[in-house]
Chains A and B, each alone.
Chain A
Amino acid sequence: MKGETAAPTRGGGAGGRSMRLKGLVRKEALQILRDPSSIGIAFVLPLILLLIFGYGVSLDATHVPLAVVVEQPTRQTAAFTAGLAQSEYFDPRGYSDVRAAENALQRGEVDGIVWLRDEFSRKVLAGGAPGIGVFVNGVDANTARIIEGYLQGVWSNWQAAASKGGPYFPVKLEQRVWFNPGLRSRDFLVPGLVAVIMTLIGALLTAMVVAREWERGTMEALLVTPVRVPEILLGKLIPYFLLGMGGLLFSVGMAVWLFAVPLRGSLWVLLAASALFLLTALGMGLLISTVARSQFVAGQVAIVATFLPAFILSGFIFDINSMPAPIQLLTRILPARYYVAILQTVFLAGNIWPVVLLNGLALLAMGAFFLILVRRKTRKRLQ
């Protein structure tokens, strides 16, 4: 209302509104184009992140250096070590005695030791079931567990080959891994990474940009013009929304064409979910900047409240089901959690509607919540 009395000649009708909005969007778009750091966040950051993640991050251990100590070489030990050598998971290195191997483990030259003692073959032939000593470096517990799993595979192959008669495995485990039979960790990390990138574009960029306007006082200047609060907010949202969707298409293109991650669901579902998430992230960014009002604080809060949780609490790398109950509750208020679930499902499993709709609904609710909150907070500051 104030606006109309201040600038009666421009008119307050639909034409004036759309003109004012156009002007704001144009101003914001020019600001984006002229400050290379905004383009940097939207396109260079995804590029670097995807390249580093896609090529660099892998949870699949291969060619693990392994110390092998054979105290008395025989046919039986040769069969076992041949199994290790043939496995692509291991890079076995012979050591003359266990002390030397232990030193190598201590120095970090090998990740594990396989120790066949001198009575090994005698006991095998006598049916005495000798123990094969296995020591792994447990500092990286996850890798240690994976190495143990690989060793069990080698061991059971050796048993099956060495024992001609009778089943030594009463129960035979037949495993079927759905959606990712080769267990390629890249296929699940790259979709999750898209969520991290969208968080950066949405929240960090808007938080910094709007905080800068508050810091310089241009936001107050804008608030006393005939422009209304929703128009100011829309003027900020539209350019960054387009920038974010551009970053998304770019990331998805890289995921599919460069990293050969299968996209089994439809692109439209992916785009719709991403638009919802982007609105939520933009809302969070605007809220942070409105409350913080300085770039330093806004930047810090954006990293702490959006980026790091998206990295650690979203289920992107660490499994949410295994977190303690209070932390699981905490993840429920994170938009990234819902987006990661949709991304991993749409990329690897397809359009599975229960997952997509449930998580999409949660995103919708959170987006509406943040945008309404921003709207209210901004009006308050006017008075």
Chain B
Amino acid sequence: MWRRIVALTKKELLALLKDKRSRFVVIVPPLVQLLVFSYAATYDLNRVPYAVFNQDQGFASREILARFEGSPIFRLAGALGHEEQIPPLVNGKRVLMVLRLGPHFTRDLLLGRPAPLQLIVDGRNSNTAAVLVGYVRSIVTDFNESWAKAHGSPASLARLDLRAWFNPNLESRWFIVPGIVGLLTLVVTLIVTSLSVAREREAGTFDQLLVTPLRPLEILLGKVLPGFIIGTAEGSFIILMAVAWFHVPLRGSLPALYAGLFLFLLSAIGVGLMISSIAVTQQQGLLGAFLFLVPAIILSGFATPIANMPPLIQHLTLLDPLRYFLLVIRGVFLEGDSIGLLWPQYWPMAAIGLVSLAAAGWLFRHRLY
């Protein structure tokens, strides 16, 4: 039995890797994407272009504006002389925000009256806008503290000591890169498996396979193993890159990580093969892969938190294997979770994998044309 499975696996791998172009698309794009996306996918803001409309001549306005100029988050794109200059700059996306100080800013401060600092933000990307307002607020708070200290106005009642666990500098790359490990592993595995049966059905070789002495279980294993080999290899490489190149801390144990990867591959391959055995043509196989892949990525918590979704959609995410794997990989990387803590994530992936593989094996013979 094993010899037949090995032979079938070899044949599958050859079908995938002997063609130069198909070998290329399995190996190169995921690596390029890892690099590009890991640098691109960040919620942290850098060099945000902003403009200043300062009507105040005093030292206080210069002092607070210097704090913006000194910050790497902001990049001064111009000083304005008229109010009418603001709308074209913001509308045309030349700047993301405008700071506006009235003519009596310094005088108000010295007299102990509240001095308004107007902030105009481009809200077209609401997340960027929210993060930007947060940055500006923290600069203003700092300024207020030091102003109160220097000018003897009453100090604040209490301070907020903010501290972030697991990711003290709140680098979103530490969040995104482990997510990309899951994302790319899923894409590669699904592409490899979702077309494997459909391609043979289209070429008519699947019927030939069915009339050989191979049992459905053996055919299934012969289709599963190539996905495992390719998925494990690419997954491991991406994990290595995350640690060695992007310096994401790997605080937990490798066995906990690989137990998760193994079960995740099982579920991804199962879904891929199930799609493939339903599809009659490769186009349908790819469409099916897409119909699964896109919601799976969106509902996994890769880019937006599951906790923000409405309850109904949150229940739907329970069917998504990527959801569990992201919890495993982020847990192991950043929080140092052990195998014991991750059981609630392991068993659903195993269940999804077994159910979908069983369905795929059944569909091999019972698919109605």
Contact = CB atoms under 8 A, between A and B. Distances in A.
Determine if chain A interacts with chain B: yes
Interface of A: 35, 37-38, 40-41, 44-45, 48-49, 52-53, 55-62, 64, 105-106, 111, 120, 123-124, 127, 129-146, 148-149, 151-152, 155, 158-159, 162-163, 165-181, 183-185, 187-188, 200, 204, 208-209, 212, 292, 294-297, 299-301, 303-304, 308, 311-313, 315, 317-319, 321-324, 327, 330-331, 341, 344-345, 348-349, 352, 354-355
17 contacts: A55-B312, A127-B155, A139-B174, A141-B44, A142-B175, A146-B134, A159-B156, A167-B113, A169-B144, A175-B118, A183-B126, A294-B19, A318-B40, A319-B45, A319-B128, A322-B44, A345-B91
Interface in B236-283: 281-283
Interface stretch (B211-219, B220-228, B299-307, B361-369): B299-307
B123 interface: yes
Nearest to B49: A321
Contacts of A323: 39-40, 42
Nearest to A345: B124
Contacts of B147: 170-171
A44 B40 CA distance: 30
Interface of B: 19, 21-22, 25-26, 29, 33, 36-37, 39-49, 64, 88, 90-93, 96, 109, 112-131, 133-134, 136-138, 140-141, 143-144, 147-148, 151, 153-168, 170-172, 174-175, 187, 191, 195, 199, 281-284, 286-287, 290-291, 294-295, 297-299, 303-305, 307-310, 312-313, 316, 330, 334-335
A159 B157 contact: yes
Contacts of B123: 177-181, 183, 188, 348
Contacts of A294: 19, 21-22
A347 to B, nearest CB: 9
Contacts of B159: 129-132
A145 B136 CA distance: 13
Contacts of B313: 52, 55-56
Contacts of A345: 91, 93, 124
A142 B127 contact: yes
B114 A318 contact: no
B157 A312 contact: no
Given A55-B312, A171-B117, 11 more contacts: A134-B162, A136-B165, A142-B127, A146-B134, A149-B133, A177-B121, A178-B90, A209-B283, A312-B37, A318-B42, A327-B36
Nearest to B133: A175
Contact of A180 (B113, B129, B165, B297): B129
Residue among A52, A170, A187, A344 with the most chain B CB within 10 A?
A: A170
A355 B91 CA distance: 8
B154 A312 contact: no
Nearest to B154: A166
Nearest to B173: A141
Nearest to B156: A168
B50 to A, nearest CB: 11
Nearest to A315: B125
A163 B156 CA distance: 9
Nearest to A200: B290
A354 B93 CA distance: 9
Contact of B287 (A41, A166, A172, A354): A41
B305 A143 contact: yes
Given A49-B294, A312-B37, A355-B93, A301 B25 contact: yes
Contact of A129 (B33, B45, B128, B156): B156
Contacts of B137: 149, 152, 173
Contacts of A137: 164-166
A181 B119 CA distance: 13
B175 A184 contact: no
B134 A145 contact: yes
A98 B158 CA distance: 19
Contact of A168 (B46, B125, B157): B157
Contacts of B172: 141-142
B157 A163 contact: yes
Contacts of B162: 134, 136, 148, 151
Nearest to A352: B91
B22 A124 contact: no
Contacts of B163: 133-136
Contacts of A349: 91, 124
Given A296-B195, A319-B45, A348 B171 contact: no
Contacts of A208: 282-283, 286
Contacts of A159: 156-158
A171 B63 CA distance: 12
Given A139-B166, A144-B170, A58 B158 contact: no
B121 A330 contact: no
A176 B22 contact: no
A139 B330 contact: yes
A131 B158 contact: yes
A106 B165 CA distance: 9
Contacts of B286: 204, 208, 295, 299
A369 to B, nearest CB: 21
Given A135-B164, A140-B305, A212-B283, A188 B134 contact: no
B175 A139 contact: yes
A354 B92 contact: yes
Contact of B170 (A130, A131, A145): A145
Contact of B160 (A38, A127, A155): A155
